[in-house]
Amino acid sequence: MEIVQITCTDTSKIVNADVLRKTDKLLEVVVAESKTKLRLFKHTPHEKFYVGKMAGLEFTSTGENII
């Protein structure tokens, strides 16, 4: 299973997340510590970061496997 790092841009907290689905424009993960499902998107496949919002907070990830 792929594991990626997710960064909360509002708090600078970084957590690991298990990848459920990954495409050029979508990264769907489950945050390991909380079992929370999060969907992050790219507007174009050439962008560096996937970006998503939940509970008023913004999250980013490069989508690169850390293992």
List pLDDT tens digits, range 3-54: 999 999 999 999 999 999 999 999 999 998 889 999 999 999 999 999 999 9
Question: What is the pLDDT, as a whole number, of residue 24?
Answer: 96
Predicted TM-score (pTM) of this structure: 0.93
- The whole-number pLDDT of residue 32 equals 84
Q: What span, in angstroms and rounded, lies between the C-alpha atoms of 22 and 56?
A: 23
**Strand runs labelled E in 12-65:** 14-22, 26-31, 37-41, 50-54, 57-61
pLDDT for 12 = 97
